[in-house]
A and B are shown apart, each in its own frame.
Chain A
Amino acid sequence: MSETLFKVFRGERAKGELCEYSVEVTEGMVVLDAINQIQARHANDLAVRWNCKAGKCGSCSAEVNGKPSLMCMTRMDELPLDKPVKIEPMRSFPHIRDLVTDVSRNYEINQLIRPLKPKPREADGTYRMQQKDIERIQEFHKCIECFLCQNVCHVMRDQQVKEFAGPRFLIRIASLAMHPLDTLNRLKELKDVFGIGYCNITKCCTEVCPEDIAITDNAIIPLKERVAGAFYDPLAWLWRSLTSVSK
Chain B
Amino acid sequence: MESYEIKEHDVLVIGAGGAGLRAAIEASAQGVSVGLVCKSLLGKAHTVMAEGGMAASLGNTDPRDNWEVHFRDTIRGGKHLNNWRMVEIFCREAAERVAELEEWGALFDRTKEGLIAQRNFGGHRYPRLAHVGDRTGLELIRTLQNHGIHQGIDIYMECCIVELLKEEGRVCGAFGFWRESGQFVVFRAKSVVLATGGLGKIFRVTSNSWEGTGDGHALAYRTGAELTDMEFVQFHPTGMVWPPSVQGILVTEGVRGEGGVLKNSEGRRFMFDYIPETFAAETSDTEEEASRWLSGDPEARRPPELLTRDVVARAIRSERLAGRGSPHGGVFLDIAGQRDAEHIKRKIPSMYHQFKKLSNLDITTTPMEVGPTCHYMMGGVRVEPETAMSTVEGLFAAGEVAGGLHGANRLGGNSLTDLLVFGTRAGFHAAKYSREQSDTIEPSKQLLKKLEKLALEPFDPERTENPYALMADLQETMEQHIGIIRTSDEMEKGIELLKALKIRGERVHTQGNRQYNPAWHYTLDLRNMLCVAEAISLSALKREESRGGHTREDFPESSDSLEKVNTFIREQNGSMIHENREREPMPEHLKILMNLPLKKEQ
Q: Which of B103, B149, B243 contacts A110 (CB 8 A)?
A: B149
Once the chains bind, are B518 and A51 in contact (CB under 8 Å)?
A: no
B468 within 8 A of A: yes
B180 within 8 A of A: yes
Once the chains bind, are B511 and A44 in contact (CB under 8 Å)?
A: yes
Encode contact with B along A219-241: 1 for CB under 8 Å, 0 otherwise. Answer: 00000000000000000000000
Q: In the complex, A55→B138 CA distance in Å?
A: 12
Q: Which of B249, B516, B520 contacts A53 (CB 8 A)?
A: B249
A214 within 8 A of B: no
Residue of B whose beta carbon sits closest to that of A140:
B107
A30 within 8 A of B: yes
Encode contact with A along B376-393: 1 for CB under 8 Å, 0 otherwise. Answer: 000000000000000000
Specify which chain B residues have a CB less than 8 angstroms from the CB of A88 in the assembled complex. none
Known contacts A28-B246, A97-B516, A181-B102, A103 near B132 by CB under 8 Å: no
A interface residues, tally (CB under 8 Å): 60
A132 to chain B minimum Cβ distance, whole angstroms, is: 9
Specify which chain B residues have a CB less than 8 angstroms from the CB of A46 in the assembled complex. 518
Residue of B whose beta carbon sits closest to that of A106:
B41
B515 within 8 A of A: yes
B134 to chain A minimum Cβ distance, whole angstroms, is: 10
Encode contact with B along A49-68: 1 for CB under 8 Å, 0 otherwise. Answer: 11111111111000000000
Once the chains bind, are B49 and A56 in contact (CB under 8 Å)?
A: yes
Known contacts A28-B242, A45-B519, A55 near B210 by CB under 8 Å: no
Q: Which of A45, A59, A118, A138 contacts B132 (CB 8 A)?
A: A138
A39 within 8 A of B: yes
Once the chains bind, are B243 and A28 in contact (CB under 8 Å)?
A: yes
A207 within 8 A of B: no
Select the residue from A29, A48, A53, A111 with max chain B CB neighbours within 10 A.
Answer: A53
Known contacts A44-B510, A138-B133, A141-B142, A179 near B468 by CB under 8 Å: no
B140 to chain A minimum Cβ distance, whole angstroms, is: 11
Q: In the complex, A162→B461 CA distance in Å?
A: 46
A125 to chain B minimum Cβ distance, whole angstroms, is: 8
Once the chains bind, are B209 and A126 in contact (CB under 8 Å)?
A: no
Specify which chain B residues have a CB less than 8 angstroms from the CB of A179 in the assembled complex. 105, 107
Q: Which of B40, B109, B242, B510 contacts A51 (CB 8 A)?
A: B40
Q: In the complex, A49→B99 CA distance in Å?
A: 34
A73 within 8 A of B: yes
B571 to chain A minimum Cβ distance, whole angstroms, is: 30
A131 within 8 A of B: yes
Known contacts A29-B245, A137-B107, A138-B133, A52 near B48 by CB under 8 Å: yes
Q: Which of A151-205 contact B (CB under 8 A)?
A: 172, 175-176, 179, 181
Select the residue from A50, A52, A125 with max chain B CB neighbours within 10 A.
Answer: A52
Once the chains bind, are B518 and A130 in contact (CB under 8 Å)?
A: no
Q: In the complex, A46→B41 CA distance in Å?
A: 18
Known contacts A33-B245, A45-B517, A118 near B110 by CB under 8 Å: no
Once the chains bind, are A27 and B467 in contact (CB under 8 Å)?
A: no
Q: In the complex, A45→B350 CA distance in Å?
A: 32
B interface vs A, CB < 8 Å? Answer: 40-46, 48-49, 99, 102-105, 107, 109-110, 113-115, 132-133, 135, 137-139, 142, 146-147, 149-150, 157, 180, 209-211, 242-246, 249-250, 350, 353-354, 357-359, 466-469, 472, 510-513, 515-520
Q: In the complex, A49→B39 CA distance in Å?
A: 11
Once the chains bind, are B468 and A40 in contact (CB under 8 Å)?
A: yes
A20 within 8 A of B: no
Once the chains bind, are B104 and A115 in contact (CB under 8 Å)?
A: yes
Known contacts A28-B243, A107-B42, A126-B115, A40 near B469 by CB under 8 Å: yes
Residue of A whose beta carbon sits closest to that of B242:
A28
Known contacts A40-B469, A44-B468, A141-B138, A59 near B41 by CB under 8 Å: yes
Once the chains bind, are A127 and B48 in contact (CB under 8 Å)?
A: no
Specify which chain B residues have a CB less than 8 angstroms from the CB of A56 in the assembled complex. 48-49, 135, 137-138, 350
Encode contact with B along A16-48: 1 for CB under 8 Å, 0 otherwise. Answer: 000000000011111001000001110111111
Once the chains bind, are B516 and A98 in contact (CB under 8 Å)?
A: yes
Once the chains bind, are A115 and B105 in contact (CB under 8 Å)?
A: yes
A-B contacts besides A110-B146, A134-B107, 15 pairs, CB < 8 Å: A28-B246, A40-B469, A49-B41, A52-B209, A53-B210, A55-B357, A56-B49, A73-B358, A96-B180, A100-B516, A107-B42, A126-B99, A138-B132, A141-B142, A144-B48
Specify which chain B residues have a CB less than 8 angstroms from the CB of A33 in the assembled complex. 245
Residue of A whose beta carbon sits closest to that of B509:
A44
A128 within 8 A of B: yes
Q: In the complex, A191→B333 CA distance in Å?
A: 49
Once the chains bind, are B469 and A55 in contact (CB under 8 Å)?
A: no
Residue of A whose beta carbon sits closest to that of B467:
A44
Specify which chain B residues have a CB less than 8 angstroms from the CB of A110 in the assembled complex. 146, 149
Known contacts A30-B358, A141-B138, A115 near B147 by CB under 8 Å: yes
Q: In the complex, A115→B246 CA distance in Å?
A: 37
A247 within 8 A of B: no
Residue of A whose beta carbon sits closest to that of B96:
A125
Q: In the complex, A57→B350 CA distance in Å?
A: 13
B199 to chain A minimum Cβ distance, whole angstroms, is: 15
Q: In the complex, A241→B104 CA distance in Å?
A: 32
Once the chains bind, are A51 and B211 in contact (CB under 8 Å)?
A: yes
A75 within 8 A of B: yes
Specify which chain A residues have a CB less than 8 angstroms from the CB of B211 in the assembled complex. 51
Once the chains bind, are B511 and A45 in contact (CB under 8 Å)?
A: yes
Residue of A whose beta carbon sits closest to that of B249:
A54
Specify which chain A residues have a CB less than 8 angstroms from the CB of B353 in the assembled complex. 55
A3 within 8 A of B: no
Q: In the complex, A148→B468 CA distance in Å?
A: 29
Specify which chain B residues have a CB less than 8 angstroms from the CB of A97 in the assembled complex. 180, 515-516
Q: In the complex, A131→B347 CA distance in Å?
A: 13
Once the chains bind, are A28 and B150 in contact (CB under 8 Å)?
A: no
Select the residue from B104, B109, B246, B354 with max chain A CB neighbours within 10 A.
Answer: B246
